[in-house]
Chains A and B, each alone.
Chain A
Amino acid sequence: MAVAETIAEPAAQAGSDLLRQRVRAAWIFLAPMLIVLALVAGWPLLRSIYFSFTNASLTNLEARQWIGFENYLSWITLKSGKTVYDGLLVDPLWWKSVWNTVRFTIVSVTLETIFGMMVALVLNADFRGRGIVRAAILVPWAIPTIVSAKMWAWMLNDQFGIINDILLNLGLISQKIAWTANPDTAMLAVLIVDIWKTTPFMALLILAGLQMIPGDIYEAAKIDGVNPVKVFWKVTLPLVRPALMVAIIFRMLDALRIFDLIYVLTANNAQTKTMSVFARENLFDFDKFAYGSAASTMLFLILTVITILYIIIGKVNFEGGR
């Protein structure tokens, strides 16, 4: 008994020493990244949140005062007893831009997922020149957004644009459409460009998931004579689901904070104004730096809440596997 104890004790100690050493090493290796993250992401975020509780103006940032939640919500009771509310939370323009963003996100991510899946399935198949096709399909994703947005702005131009020219020549439309000017088509134009640009990204992430599926499952299904549609729903989709869920969350976060594409295509159009465009406009164009900071903070909160809900509801597992 005593002997056993004397043997076991140093062993346990050695194990915990090793563990402690490993934990320490892990922290040392992580430290540079954590410090950089804190500097480039944490600090600006905290500053924005802080500014949203002040009355800061960009002309003179130093003269700011703490005003609490007034940028978010404030109210005055008039002599007649009526209460008038003010602030971001009751600003119809803000809620309109939230709605624009959410609508854009739902439509664009859904379509990008469907198209991305189709492209990935094609690319997963064996055919000659697959490498070249895979590279080619990434081109839209590789072009900087500003450049592709400007390029599309000219293509969608109502008078000189090639899109109208093609549609006219094919007889699909009878007169030129003002894509980015018309309130009915402005969002459509933005969606077309966004889907064109980010479908390759979805395809790539889904493709990576597809290639993890072992080939013998398909062989087994083939031997059993299961039809291909059933194979897709019963084998491919469940197995690729973890990768798909992660791809969707990346795209969703990206779509919720969309700025550049909309800013170039339909600059100040109220029909397509998103949360980020709203925040920028208040931060820099108007003399309302604090109000813009409040909008940025709300954008951050909305993003966080949606992400958490998605992870819980979608049971996303970031560790891989199911």
Chain B
Amino acid sequence: MKLRSALMAFGAAVVMTGTAHAANLSIVSGDTGNGLAVLREKLDIYEKTSGNKVTIVPMPSSTTDQFGQYKLWLAAGNSDIDVYQTDVIWAPQLAEQLVDLTEATKDVIGQHFPSIVQSQTVNGKLVAMPLFTDAPALYYRKDLLEKYGKTAPKTWAELAATAKEIQDKERAAGAKDLWGFVWQGNAYEGLTCNALEWVMSYGGGQIVEPDGEISINNPQAVAAIEEAKSWVNTISPPGVLAYQEEEARGVWQTGNAVFMRNWPYAYSLGEGADSAIKGKFDVAPLPAGTGDKARSAATLGGWNLAVSKYSKNQKEAIDLVKFLTSKEMQKKQAIEASNLPTIIDLYDDAEIAKAVPIIPRWKDVFLNAVPRPSAPTKVKYNEVSSNFWTAVHNSLAGSGTTADNLELLEAQLTKLKGNGW
């Protein structure tokens, strides 16, 4: 009798906790390529194990568009969204409205790269959990380079020469739509990433240095942007000034580009069954510029998961974040979406190395990646970035000279900085 009532009480408790925990969660993400499909697969696994339902709220892939919307939702105290997929640069700007994950992730945080964890920590508060990291690569057509006896270029000048030669000869041979090099030239955050790489590869600094000094107005930066300007309408289509990631990939994946600058996600899509360039391409680090401090530079990107302060199911939301950023799920994401893991051990994983050979090779590129100046410029980062991409876009499009535009940019940034960032 006693045993029976105890069992019944236990049963009732199980049922009750079961219902109490079955929450409906919403996750918002503007991932590119097959990112959302892979996310859905992972969520299906999560729903089975936890009993919670998770809905994906899809967003446009432009990080600039996403930020405006998220900021608005958070300012309004919106409780409809529980988990946000956040860009690596947003942490200081959204910190106040996101839940501190330090306590909840104590057991697993040590597996991740410390530099990424650092970028998501604001005043000792872990505002987002690393989901994947990103560092762009130079994609090149193995078959075309071999055909003309070329190797992957080490400098931008080499890239321009190779691209021009192959483009001209292939066009003469009938491939009328072929272009040498596609990248992201639209006036948005992506152009800041591209241009930071050019400037950095010429040793022209990183716009605003870690100590807050505005360094962009210098001859190396001018030379870097001038170099990029010379590509437009020669080796790059004029429309590149309106391209974001997906437009560039569109030209590339239909076989109409020799080189492309893009993030690792384009790798598994390029190897997909419907791709015109399957098995015909490889990746290399981005080329270096010229000058004393010339180097290959890749902008550090990456996405994280954060829990909204206004979520009504914070506990479940934190669970979901921990699940999605766990080792197994990062592995799945690495294999299916070629996203770079943030867990150090996964770079030695044999299955990942077999499925996406670029990932183990990418560890060094990403360890040397350049962060955008979001840490020193704090809440003003978006405006800094917008001023920068506008100056670069104007220079590329030929409104004003590069030197004048960068001088004006320096003045704007100085005014924006005021007494300090």
A contact residues vs B (CB 8 Å cutoff): 57-61, 86, 157-160, 176-183, 266-271, 280-281, 284-288
Q: Which of B62, B241, B393 lies in contact with A178, CB distance below 8 A?
A: B241
| B3 interfacial by beta-carbon distance below 8 Å | no
| B251 interfacial by beta-carbon distance below 8 Å | yes
Residues of A within 8 A of B399 (CB): 183, 270-271
Docked Cα-Cα span, A96 to B314, in Å, equals 45
| B390 interfacial by beta-carbon distance below 8 Å | yes
> A280 and B187 in contact (CB under 8 A), knowing A159-B177, A159-B239, A286-B386?
no
- Report whether A281 and B386 are in contact in the complex, using a CB–CB cutoff of 8 Å: yes
Listed stretches B9-17, B199-207, B375-383; interface member: B375-383
- Report whether B238 and A181 are in contact in the complex, using a CB–CB cutoff of 8 Å: yes
Docked Cα-Cα span, A266 to B185, in Å, equals 12
Docked Cα-Cα span, A181 to B397, in Å, equals 8
Within 8 A of A (CB), among B321-358: none
- Report whether A178 and B72 are in contact in the complex, using a CB–CB cutoff of 8 Å: no
Q: Which B residue's beta carbon lies closest to that of A60?
A: B96
What's the minimum C-beta distance from B309 to chain A, rounded to whole angstroms?
Answer: 12
A to B CB contacts below 8 Å, 27 in the list: A59-B96, A59-B379, A60-B96, A86-B415, A157-B247, A159-B239, A160-B250, A178-B240, A178-B241, A179-B239, A180-B242, A181-B186, A181-B239, A182-B397, A183-B397, A183-B398, A183-B399, A268-B64, A268-B187, A269-B187, A269-B393, A270-B399, A281-B386, A284-B69, A284-B72, A286-B380, A287-B382
- Report whether A158 and B242 are in contact in the complex, using a CB–CB cutoff of 8 Å: yes
Docked Cα-Cα span, A240 to B3, in Å, equals 92
What's the minimum C-beta distance from B65 to chain A, rounded to whole angstroms?
Answer: 8
Given contacts A178-B239, A281-B386, 19 further A-B contacts (CB under 8 A): A58-B75, A157-B247, A159-B251, A160-B250, A177-B238, A180-B242, A181-B238, A181-B241, A181-B397, A267-B64, A267-B186, A270-B187, A270-B390, A270-B399, A284-B67, A285-B71, A285-B383, A287-B382, A287-B383
Convert B249-282 into 0s and 1s, putting 1 for each residue whose CB lies closer than 8 angstroms to a CB of A. Answer: 0110000100000000000000000000000000
| B420 interfacial by beta-carbon distance below 8 Å | no
Docked Cα-Cα span, A86 to B412, in Å, equals 12
Docked Cα-Cα span, A269 to B244, in Å, equals 13
Residues of B within 8 A of A180 (CB): 239, 242
Most buried by B among A267, A271, A288: A267
Docked Cα-Cα span, A61 to B382, in Å, equals 19
Most buried by A among B71, B188, B243, B386: B71
Shortest beta-carbon contacts, A-B, top 6: A158-B239, A178-B239, A181-B242, A181-B241, A178-B238, A268-B187
What's the minimum C-beta distance from A195 to chain B, rounded to whole angstroms?
Answer: 21
> A268 and B71 in contact (CB under 8 A), knowing A176-B237, A180-B242?
no
Q: Which of A61, A177, A181, A280 lies in contact with B75, CB distance below 8 A?
A: A61
Q: Which B residue's beta carbon lies closest to that of A185?
A: B238
- Report whether A268 and B185 are in contact in the complex, using a CB–CB cutoff of 8 Å: no
Within 8 A of A (CB), among B58-80: 62, 64-65, 67-69, 71-72, 75
Docked Cα-Cα span, A55 to B97, in Å, equals 19
Docked Cα-Cα span, A60 to B386, in Å, equals 22
Q: Which B residue's beta carbon lies closest to that of A186?
A: B242
Within 8 A of A (CB), among B170-219: 177, 185-188
Most buried by A among B65, B389, B415: B65
> A59 and B97 in contact (CB under 8 A), knowing A178-B237, A180-B242, A287-B380?
yes
Residues of B within 8 A of A280 (CB): 68
What's the minimum C-beta distance from B285 to chain A, rounded to whole angstroms?
Answer: 27
Q: Which of B185, B240, B380, B394 lies in contact with A270, CB distance below 8 A?
A: B394
| B93 interfacial by beta-carbon distance below 8 Å | yes
Most buried by B among A159, A176, A179, A288: A159
Q: Which A residue's beta carbon lies closest to that of B399?
A: A183
What's the minimum C-beta distance from B409 to chain A, rounded to whole angstroms?
Answer: 13
Residues of A within 8 A of B393 (CB): 269-270
Docked Cα-Cα span, A261 to B72, in Å, equals 21
Residues of A within 8 A of B65 (CB): 267
- Report whether A159 and B256 are in contact in the complex, using a CB–CB cutoff of 8 Å: yes
Docked Cα-Cα span, A176 to B178, in Å, equals 12
Residues of B within 8 A of A60 (CB): 96
Docked Cα-Cα span, A180 to B383, in Å, equals 23
> A286 and B382 in contact (CB under 8 A), knowing A159-B177, A178-B237?
yes
> A58 and B71 in contact (CB under 8 A), knowing A183-B399, A267-B186?
yes
- Report whether A267 and B397 are in contact in the complex, using a CB–CB cutoff of 8 Å: no
Docked Cα-Cα span, A281 to B383, in Å, equals 9
Q: Which A residue's beta carbon lies closest to that of B75?
A: A58
- Report whether B240 and A181 are in contact in the complex, using a CB–CB cutoff of 8 Å: yes
What's the minimum C-beta distance from B398 to chain A, rounded to whole angstroms?
Answer: 8
- Report whether B71 and A267 are in contact in the complex, using a CB–CB cutoff of 8 Å: no
What's the minimum C-beta distance from B275 to chain A, rounded to whole angstroms?
Answer: 16
Residues of B within 8 A of A57 (CB): 379
- Report whether A182 and B241 are in contact in the complex, using a CB–CB cutoff of 8 Å: yes
> A288 and B383 in contact (CB under 8 A), knowing A159-B237, A182-B397?
yes
Residues of A within 8 A of B243 (CB): 181
Residues of B within 8 A of A288 (CB): 383
Docked Cα-Cα span, A182 to B187, in Å, equals 12
Residues of B within 8 A of A177 (CB): 238
Docked Cα-Cα span, A160 to B179, in Å, equals 13
What's the minimum C-beta distance from A8 to chain B, rounded to whole angstroms?
Answer: 63
- Report whether B187 and A267 are in contact in the complex, using a CB–CB cutoff of 8 Å: yes
Q: Which A residue's beta carbon lies closest to that of B182?
A: A159
Docked Cα-Cα span, A284 to B242, in Å, equals 22
Docked Cα-Cα span, A86 to B416, in Å, equals 11
